[in-house]
Amino acid sequence: MKVLRPEFDLEAFRSSVESADERVLILDYDGTLAPFTPDRDLAAPYKGVKERLAALHRQEHTRLVLVSGRAASDLDRLLNMDPRPEIWGSHGWERLRDGKYEPPTIPDRWEQALLEARDACLKVAGESQCEFKPASVAVHWRGRENNFRKDVEQRLLPAWSGLASRLGLEIHRFDGGIELRCPGRDKGDSVRTILSESPPEAVAAYLGDDRTDEDAFAAIRGRGAAVLVRKELRDTGADLWLTPPDQLLEFMDLWII
């Protein structure tokens, strides 16, 4: 574990987690709890993570939340937890909580744009590399040869850029692909809502690996720890860096009391 911001006091944070009456632990999934796999439908957590998630979820004074760019239903399937934890999917557009589903409300023009983006994605990348979500379409190139990526950049990106500028959608690059997203929500919004629903004295942390997690890191600043989970360090606004899986498991154990 490495402290990245000198203002962050790891020892003080450790003891506040141990002594807190209320805790909020917010976790990204892909790249954070689960290593990347060429077939993202099979992304399983690191060994030891599932048991810890279950233990955390059983604790009365810990609110366990998963926040992901995946569709909420997709993450629910991969986690396969009973009882289910709270899940924010599609970068905060939808939520599963207490067995209830809060769907996204997306304007018709964006729904139409997503359909067009989907067709373009299928044509260039093929079904196995496209991911269709309630508020976005993503194309993945992890595990594919360089030519595939070049093809996506040259043929799909211009089509998506046209749609994005015509209808006000956003293009985001992530670790392993590109996504065309409805604007207005990101993981930072999810974190702000979660914290606003939690007692102000609750000790909180957010764990993530990707660029899309930087919004969440910024949102938790001043309220808890922003933790980058990644084999290699990169530019980040996080307070703390840990490498999975060993340091991740160690960090999760801190919260299991």
Residue 57 Cβ, how far from Mg ion at the closest point, in Å? Answer: 20
Residue 85 touching Mg ion (CB under 5 A): no
Stretch that binds Mg ion, among 77-85, 110-118, 134-142, 209-217 (CB under 5 A): 209-217
Residue 209 touching Mg ion (CB under 5 A): yes
Residue 179 touching Mg ion (CB under 5 A): no
Stretch that binds Mg ion, among 9-17, 23-31, 50-58, 124-132 (CB under 5 A): 23-31
> Residue 132 pairs with which residues in a beta bridge?
137
What residue type is assigned to position 217 of the chain? Answer: F
3-state helix, strand, coil in the chain (%, to 5): 40, 25, 35
> Residue 137 pairs with which residues in a beta bridge?
132, 180
Residue 213 Cβ, how far from Mg ion at the closest point, in Å? Answer: 6
Residue 209 Cβ, how far from Mg ion at the closest point, in Å? Answer: 5
Residue 31 touching Mg ion (CB under 5 A): yes
Separation of alpha carbons 161 and 145, rounded Å: 23
Stretch that binds Mg ion, among 25-33, 50-58, 132-140, 190-198 (CB under 5 A): 25-33
Of residues 77, 100, 99, 74, the one with CA closest to residue 89 = 74
Of residues 106, 93, 97, the one with CA closest to residue 76 = 97
Toward Mg ion, which CB reaches closer, 113 or 216?
Answer: 216
Name every residue whose Cβ is closer than 8 Å to that of residue 124 and which is 6 or more positions away in sequence: 139, 151, 152, 155, 156, 159
Residue 210 touching Mg ion (CB under 5 A): yes
Residue 92 touching Mg ion (CB under 5 A): no
Q: Of 28, 74, 131, 215, which lies in the binding site for Mg ion, with binding defined by CB under 5 A?
A: 28
Residue 214 touching Mg ion (CB under 5 A): no
Ramachandran area for residue 79 (φ above 0: left; ψ -120 to 50: alpha; else beta) = alpha
Stretch that binds Mg ion, among 28-36, 116-124, 128-136, 165-173 (CB under 5 A): 28-36
Residue 215 touching Mg ion (CB under 5 A): no
Stretch that binds Mg ion, among 18-26, 106-114, 205-213, 228-236 (CB under 5 A): 205-213
Residue 47 Cβ, how far from Mg ion at the closest point, in Å? Answer: 18
| Positive or negative: CA dihedral 131, 47, 143, 209 | positive
Residue 30 Cβ, how far from Mg ion at the closest point, in Å? Answer: 4
Contacts with Mg ion by CB under 5 A: the residue count is: 5
Pair 225, 202: CB distance under 8 Å: no
CA neighbours closer than 13 Å in the CB half-sphere of residue 97: 15
In the bound complex, which residue of the shown chain has the CB atom lying closest to Mg ion? 31
Separation of alpha carbons 63 and 33, rounded Å: 17
Tell me which residues touch Mg ion (CB under 5 A).
Answer: 28, 30-31, 209-210
